[in-house]
Amino acid sequence: MKKNSAILFAFVSPAAILFLLVFLYPILRTLCMSFFKIDGVTDAFSKWQFVGLENYQKLLSTTLFRISMGNLFRIWAFGGILVLSLSLLFAVIITSGIRGKSFFRAMIYLPNIVSAVALATMWLQYVYSPKFGLLKSFFTMIHLDKLARIQWLSNDHKFMALLIAYCFGMVGYHMLIFASGIERISGDYFEAATLDGANRLQQFRHITLPLLKGMFHTNITMWSVSSVGFFVWSQLFSTVTADTQTITPMVYMYMQIFGAGNSVTERNAGIGAAVGVCLSLCVVLIFQLCNRLFKDKDLEF
C-alpha cells in the first residue's frame, strides 16, 4: 500500500508542479502587481512603483468602476434568474417525453455555436434597429405603437437590450446541464408518484427540484464564472469607447492595461491587477455561498 501511494504521488506530482507553475505563479504575481503602479503589463520589476493599497482605494473612489461592478451584479442576478429559469423550464419540457426532443434541444443550443460577433451584429443592426428592426416591425404590426417607438439601444434601454441578447445565447448551455440532471433521476420515482396521484407540478416540486440541487450548484457556479468574465458582449455593444450601461469590470481592467478607445490614455496594469483580485474574491465568495446553500451530499439516488 505504501509503495502504491509513492507511485501515485510520483505520477500526480508533474501535473501538480506544472499546475502550480502555470496557475499559482500568475495568481501570486497578479496579487503582487496590484500593490504597484505599472505602466506596461510586461514592464520589468525595476520599473514598478510600490503604492500599497492606493490602487484599491482608487478603484473604490472611481465612479466608473463602481458603475461597472453594478452592471456586473445586474448581469449576474437578473441574467442569472432569467437564464436559469428558462433553462430549467426548457430542460423539464424536453425531458418530458415531448416529440422531436432532439430537434428542440439542438435549436435551443444553436446560439451557443454561433460566433458572439455574428449574434451581436444581428441583435444590434437588425432586431433592435429603430428603423427596420424586428421589434419595431412586430410591435407596429400588432399596433402597439408606444412599444414600437422604443429606442432599444438608447442609454435607458441599452442594458436590457444587452442582457436579453446575451441570455438568448446562454440558455441552451445551462439547459443541457439541467436536462442531464433530470435524466439522471430514475423514472421509478415519477412512476410511483403518478400512482400515488401526484400531478406533474407536484412531481416537479417534490421530486425534480430537490434532486437537482447538484445541478443548481453547477449551473450557478458556471453562470457566475462566465458573468465575472463578461467582456466580449460588452465590447460588441459599445464599440471603440466603453458605455456606462455595458461596461463591466473586465472592460475596465482592459482599459487600464491597454488604454481606452482610440485615445492614448494613462495605463496602469497595477489597477488592472487589483480589478482581477476583486473579481477573484467575488467568485470565491459566490462559490462559498453556493456550497452552503446547495449541500446535496445528504441525498443519494
Partner 1 sequence: MKRKLLYPIAVMASLALALTACGGSQTKESAKDEKSESKAEAGSKAEKADASAQSGDGLVYWSMWEATEPQGQALKEAIDAFTKDTGIAVDVQFKGRTGIREGLQPALDAGTNIDLFDEDIDRVNKTWSAYLLDLEELAKANDYEKTANAGLIAACREVGGGTLKSIPYQPNVFAFFYNKAIFEEAGVKEVPKTWEELDKACALIKEKGYAPITSDDAYILSSFGYHLSRINGYEKASSIVKDGKWDDPSVLAVAKAYEDFAKKGYFSESIASNVWPAGQNQELAAGTAAIYLNGSWLPNEVKDIAGDDFQWGCFSYPAVENGVDGIEAANFGAQVLAINKNSKHAEDAFKLITYFTKGKYDQKLSEMSLGIPADSDNKEWPEILSSVKPVMESLKTRYPWAASAEDNADMTPILKENFTKLCGGSITAEEFVKNLQK
Q: Quick one: 168 or 287, whose CB is closer to partner 1?
A: 168
Q: Quick one: 201 or 240, whose CB is closer to partner 1?
A: 240
Q: Quick one: 26 or 40, whose CB is closer to partner 1?
A: 40
Q: Interface with partner 1 by CB under 8 A: which residues? A: 3, 6-7, 9-11, 13-15, 17-18, 40-44, 62-65, 67, 124-125, 128-131, 151-155, 157-158, 237-245, 247, 255-256, 258-267
The x, y and z cell numbers of residue 215, run together, are 445541478
Least distance (Å) from partner 1 to the CB of residue 74?
Answer: 16
Q: Quick one: 40 or 210, whose CB is closer to partner 1?
A: 40
Least distance (Å) from partner 1 to the CB of residue 35?
Answer: 20
Q: Using CB atoms within 10 Å of the CB of residue 139, give its burial: 0 to 12 exposed, 13 to 18 middle, 19+ buried.
A: middle
Report the DSSP beta bridge partners of residue 50. Answer: 36
Least distance (Å) from partner 1 to the CB of residue 230?
Answer: 16
Among 229, 214, 216, CA closest to 282: 229
Least distance (Å) from partner 1 to the CB of residue 76?
Answer: 20
- Alpha helix stretches (DSSP H) within the chain: 2-19, 25-33, 54-61, 63-74, 80-94, 101-109, 116-121, 134-141, 145-148, 155-184, 187-195, 200-203, 209-211, 213-228, 232-237, 249-258, 269-293
DSSP, res 240: S
CA angle at residue 166 from 83 to 250, to 5 degrees? 110
Least distance (Å) from partner 1 to the CB of residue 113?
Answer: 23
The x, y and z cell numbers of residue 91, run together, are 430542460
Q: Quick one: 17 or 81, whose CB is closer to partner 1?
A: 17
